A = this chain, B = another copy of it.
Amino acid sequence: MRPSGRSHDALRPVSLTPGFSRHAEGSCLIRMGNTEVLCAASVEGRVPPFMRNSGQGWVTAEYGMLPRATHTRGEREAARGKQSGRTQEIQRLIGRALRAVVDRSKMGEVTVTLDCDVLNADGGTRCAAITGAWVALSLAFRHMQRMNVIKTLPLIGQVAAVSCGISAGDAVLDLDYAEDSSADADANFVLTDAGGIVEIQGTAERSAFSEAQFLGMLGLARQGVAALFEAQREAVGGA
């Protein structure tokens, strides 16, 4: 039995609220159980130096956690004067995940920055951020289309992410904080609606895992993201 009472293949309740940030070109507040991440897409009319005059746009992400999103207060990164290695790792991951489903040659030379800020944390914040950021990004592209900045949506498909773990030898879907802390291994899967794998990050927390266990997690992840893709489509349609 999982601590939350969920079955091994059950996602937490998911909700995607578009438009939470009043000023952003696109935004989405994603809730997966008690994890809440605010994703805001900002469109700016310039690209980083290494992309200039390429005719292509850029998509990047920044990640943060409010100091008291967690059980005990964490130090504010702005006060500490630097972002942790974990923060940088996560924001690089989010950026890569989103770029995998964007045709950047159709964006024009603009940058879309996805700010993903965790308001409440209960495990799986990086996955929630990716899933929510896709909605924010889609809404921002639609905004650009309405403003006649672009003619067609530069999206190749949908991307969403979910974590799985090995708990008591078996694979389980969508870990919350309690499970994440006690799992033997966990993995984050970033997948597309076309069935492709964009990113896999699997880590043995307590002991090395086997190929079979890994494939068990991958199977659950495929099942989990199907529901997330559906929720994304509803959120974008209802914006």
Contacts and interface: CB of A to CB of B under 8 A. Distances in A.
A36 to B, nearest CB: 9
A120 interface: yes
A78 B68 contact: no
22 contacts: A21-B119, A22-B120, A23-B69, A42-B73, A62-B76, A76-B115, A78-B80, A81-B81, A81-B82, A82-B82, A96-B203, A187-B200, A191-B208, A194-B208, A196-B204, A196-B209, A196-B210, A197-B208, A198-B203, A198-B204, A200-B201, A201-B202
A122 to B, nearest CB: 8
A66 B117 contact: yes
Given A22-B120, A196-B207, A198-B204, 11 more contacts: A21-B69, A21-B119, A23-B120, A23-B121, A40-B67, A73-B115, A85-B91, A196-B209, A196-B210, A198-B203, A200-B202
Contact of A89 (B81, B92, B209, B218): B92
A98 interface: no
A113 interface: yes
Given A40-B68, A42-B73, A78-B87, A209 B187 contact: no
Interface of A: 20-24, 27, 34, 38, 40, 42, 44, 62, 64, 66-73, 76-89, 91-92, 96, 100, 113, 115, 117, 119-122, 187, 191-192, 194-204, 207-211, 214, 218
Contact of A83 (B40, B72, B79, B201): B79
